[in-house]
């Protein structure tokens, strides 16, 4: 009994200490400090980008505001020079600060990698997948898949729009980037798509959320307890990549896609970890593939969903873009890279939707070393800094009447008036989204098909 009480007291004291150790962290550094702001997010009252926006708006004259994510000090940046410095600094702010279990295969990707030298190596290997030449080929695959999207919507009208768009994104990304044979009438009903899109049961959702919290607050436990966040998808992703590769080896000719890149580097000795150890190429390529799905499926579905919502609420904009899209179909009969890129008004609509509803509403970086910001504030090693994208996009200083949906903000006359680092739908700097051009092409094809 005494042992149990002793353990309880030790745990209680540890918890109290943990949540109070940094209690006045920002105050003693003469930074405006906001306490308990993150609880609105934890309690489900609002999203994390909305938390940051509320803080951003509450202190209009500050360059930065200090807050806490539980006990961790977090600095919300407002000064554009500070934001520029953080996004472009490959020395002190290259890490996104996501801690994962190194033994988990699918986390060895561009999204989660913290080793900057290794990240640069991987980025160099993957960048050629998204050249203009290859995007032109991808546009054909995306458009061919769109027939299955229209058929599915007709057959399953009761399903939520966003869910349908996510399934299409799996199909289009799988076909255009990974060479999966999804160009069929029932592509959205494919077993692979259903397996990847299947909602997690309540218990698994709670367990997944718990793992994420542990990765942020107690990253050491990931290794001690060997917790793997994404392991449920490992075998499926590996199986898909290996099957497509085997099929490609039996079929002569090149498609210049991700699988061709995979086949080229299978015997490449340059894919190594920081210690020089040669990594498993199958697992390496599968982890990059997984990151494309994670980064591209839900985000593009949300962007398309919000864009169509705005078109439905702004009939004059809808009529104008209808005319542009109808003109393209009348002249070319089908969509390709060149005619999609020629639709200037559709491009402005998408840009404005990404401003008002950024798929990624905030970004974080962690200081890997002590750093001095341009505003002359010292950020200590291990401190998180936040770029509040949603708050910047909705700041009336940078975008007049920010709640108004106005595609003409991005006209040729106005786009150069937008201040650098106030519009960040795909980030900026060294870790700008590698698939940004593909994402815009993908979404514009979706919108052109759905809006007619």
Distance in angstroms (rounded) separating the CA atoms of residues 407 and 130: 27
Most distant pair of Cα atoms in the chain: their distance: 84
Residue-by-residue DSSP string for 77-108: E--HHHHHHHHH-TTTS-B------TT-GGG-
Distance in angstroms (rounded) separating the CA atoms of residues 316 and 313: 9
Distance in angstroms (rounded) separating the CA atoms of residues 72 and 180: 43
**Tokens describing residue 38:** 């993150």
Q: Is 433 annotated as a binding residue?
A: yes
Distance in angstroms (rounded) separating the CA atoms of residues 36 and 5: 30
Question: Would strands 72-77 and 384-387 be described as parallel, antiparallel, or unpaired?
Answer: parallel
Strand partners, 278: 272
Residue-by-residue DSSP string for 16-82: HHHHHTTTTTTGGGT--B--STTHHHHTTSS-HHHHHHHHHHH-TT-SEEEEEETTEEEEEE--HHH
Distance in angstroms (rounded) separating the CA atoms of residues 258 and 177: 6
Question: Would strands 384-387 and 378-379 be described as parallel, antiparallel, or unpaired?
Answer: unpaired
Strand partners, 74: 67, 384
Q: Are 157 and 127 in contact (CB under 8 A)?
A: no
Sign of the CA dihedral with 287 first, then 245, 137, and 163 last: negative
Distance in angstroms (rounded) separating the CA atoms of residues 94 and 74: 16
**Tokens describing residue 452:** 């007619």
For 107-224, strand residue ranges (E) read: none
**Tokens describing residue 373:** 């910001």
For 55-203, strand residue ranges (E) read: 64-69, 72-77
Q: Are 222 and 214 in contact (CB under 8 A)?
A: yes
**DSSP designation for 411:** S
**Tokens describing residue 296:** 């591209």
Residues annotated within the binding site are 433
List, as residue ranges, the binding site for heme.
Answer: 433
């Amino acid at each position: 009994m005494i042992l149990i009480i002793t353990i309880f007291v030790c745990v209680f004291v540890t918890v109290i200490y943990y949540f109070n150790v940094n209690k006045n962290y920002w105050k003693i550094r003469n930074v405006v400090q906001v306490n308990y702001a993150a609880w609105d997010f934890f309690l489900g009252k609002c999203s994390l980008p909305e938390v940051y926006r509320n803080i951003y708006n509450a202190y209009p004259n500050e360059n930065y505001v200090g807050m806490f994510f539980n006990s961790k000090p977090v600095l919300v940046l407002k000064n554009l020079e500070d934001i520029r410095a953080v996004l472009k600094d490959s020395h002190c702010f290259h890490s996104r600060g996501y801690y994962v279990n190194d033994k988990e295969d699918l986390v060895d990707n561009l999204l989660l990698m913290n080793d900057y030298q290794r990240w640069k190596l991987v980025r160099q290997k993957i960048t050629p997948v998204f050249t203009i030449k290859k995007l032109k080929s991808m546009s054909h695959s995306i458009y061919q898949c769109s027939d299955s999207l229209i058929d599915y919507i007709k057959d399953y009208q009761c399903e939520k729009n966003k869910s349908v768009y996510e399934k299409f994104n799996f199909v289009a990304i799988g076909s255009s980037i990974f060479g999966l044979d999804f160009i069929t009438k029932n592509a959205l009903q494919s077993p692979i798509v259903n397996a990847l899109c299947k909602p997690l049961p309540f218990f698994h959702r709670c367990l997944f959320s718990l793992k994420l919290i542990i990765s942020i607050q107690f990253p050491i436990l990931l290794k001690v307890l060997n917790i793997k966040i994404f392991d449920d998808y490992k075998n499926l992703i590996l199986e898909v990549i290996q099957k497509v590769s085997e099929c490609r080896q039996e079929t002569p000719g090149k498609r210049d896609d991700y699988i061709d890149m995979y086949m080229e580097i299978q015997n490449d000795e340059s894919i190594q970890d920081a210690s020089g150890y040669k990594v498993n190429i199958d697992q390496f390529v599968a982890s990059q593939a997984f990151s494309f799905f994670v980064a591209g499926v839900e985000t593009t579905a949300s962007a398309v969903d919000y864009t169509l919502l705005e078109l439905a609420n702004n009939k004059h904009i809808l009529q104008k873009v209808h005319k542009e899209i109808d003109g393209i179909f009348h002249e070319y009969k089908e969509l390709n890279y060149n005619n999609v890129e020629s639709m200037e008004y559709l491009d402005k609509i998408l840009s404005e939707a990404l401003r008002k509803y950024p798929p990624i509403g905030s970004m974080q970086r962690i200081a890997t070393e002590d750093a001095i910001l341009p505003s002359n504030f010292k950020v200590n090693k291990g401190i998180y800094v936040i770029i509040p994208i949603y708050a910047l996009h909705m700041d009336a200083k940078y975008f007049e009447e920010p709640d108004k949906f106005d595609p003409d903000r991005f006209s040729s006359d106005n786009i150069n008036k937008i201040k650098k680092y106030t519009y960040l739908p795909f980030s900026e700097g060294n870790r700008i989204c590698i698939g940004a051009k593909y994402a815009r092409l993908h979404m514009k094809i979706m919108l052109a098909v759905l809006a007619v």
